[in-house]
Structure 1
Amino acid sequence: MKRLLFLSATLASLFFVAVWIEPSKQTKTLSASEVTAVDGDTLDHGEHRYRLVGFDAPETYRPQCRAEKTLGLKAKARLTELIQSADQIELVIQPDLDVHDRFLAVGRVAGQEVGAILISEGLARPYYGGKRRSWCG
């Protein structure tokens, strides 16, 4: 009985320590005038760059084909339009940086995730890590 009680107390303690030391996510609301879309899934705000998570938009910097660049420019323009029309974007920032030292964040405008909007309009795909699919057919 003492062993069971000790084991239960130990597991409960480990759970609470794990929750306590887990870095929390930070939420920021940024004015549209302070944010620049780098492409369809990346934003600049001052010296900080944010990779919006949950989706992948076509590349504009080093596209693999003309179709990818064309669709990437449309995704970038639409992301800019979404932010401008809402006058702001809310970022829920994750505690980790990606391999390019960008902050990872979920972006929302008017209560909707921008990734879901871009996906529904055919300008992005769901993406949760790993190898990305080509946009070049």
Structure 2
Amino acid sequence: MARSHLRLVHDTAPSRRRPRKRSLSFWRKRGRGMRIETKLKAVVLIGLLGLVVLPGGSDLALTLVRPVQAEASTCRVTSITDGDTVRLWCPNGEGGPARLTGFDTPELFSPECPSEYAAALAAKWYLRQAIWGASEVRMVREGTDRYGRLLVAMELDGQPLRQLMIEAGHARPYAGGQRAGWCAA
């Protein structure tokens, strides 16, 4: 029986097909790339995560580096709820939600119109920036309100916080009682 030998021949001639150029553009739809709907969903998801992670991360940093001098102890602002409400942690156990006194800001959680919601977000971020930028933060406890929150007058670098918020246009003077609306009539 004769043995047949297989002989492999390698093609050394250059290929006629050009290599396909790879596009660096993320948004172009070519070949087997990601669909545009998937890309848009990813962008929206990243944006929503930014709305949660950025405020939470800045509040955490604020908690770690910015103590608040109270009458009897050193407290920390752990989070900023809205433009006139913060959450405090005090080593003596008196922390919790605290309503900042002397001013009123737009409602973030029950706005009556879109402009009130936008103004509430601006007030919250202004308060966060003001507390973050102050070298000295002091507070004086003035009691509790009907919701069980601490009533606190806060000073930043010796200046009343109510004055800063009102002058910046993010708040109105408030001493209790009926609140005025924030929506244009």
Residue 126 of structure 2 is aligned to residue 61 of structure 1: no
Please name the residue that 1:73 is paired with: 121
Please name the residue that 1:12 is paired with: none
Which structure would you say has the larger Rg? Answer: 2
Higher relative contact order (CA 8 A, sep 6+): 1
1:1-137 equivalences under 5 Å are: 27=71, 29-31=74-76, 34-46=77-89, 48-87=96-135, 89-94=137-142, 96-137=143-184
- 3-state SS of 2:109 partner: coil
Contact 1:30 1:88 in 2 (8 A): no
Report runs of 4+ in structure 1 exceeding 6 Å deviation.
Answer: none
Q: TM-score, normalised by structure 1?
A: 0.73
In 1, distance between residues paired with 2:107 and 2:136? Answer: 24
Name structure 1 gaps, 5 residues minimum.
1-25
In 2, distance between residues paired with 1:43 and 1:88? Answer: 17
Alignment RMSD, CA only?
Answer: 1.6
With over 3 angstroms needed to count, the CA separation of the structure-2 counterparts of 1:91 and 1:45, relative to structure 1, is: same
- Deviation track 1:70-99 (CA, whole Å, cap 9, x = no partner) reads 0011110011001111155211001x2101
Name structure 2 gaps, 5 residues minimum.
1-69, 90-94
- Deviation track 1:49-68 (CA, whole Å, cap 9, x = no partner) reads 11001100111011111111
Deviation at 1:35, TM superposition (A): 2.8
Query: Which one has the bigger strand percentage?
Result: 1
Size of the aligned set, in residue pairs, is 109
Query: Which one has the bigger helix percentage?
Result: 1
In 1, distance between residues paired with 2:137 and 2:122? Answer: 19
- 3-state SS of 2:155 partner: strand
Identical aligned pairs, as a percentage? 35
- 3-state SS of 2:147 partner: coil
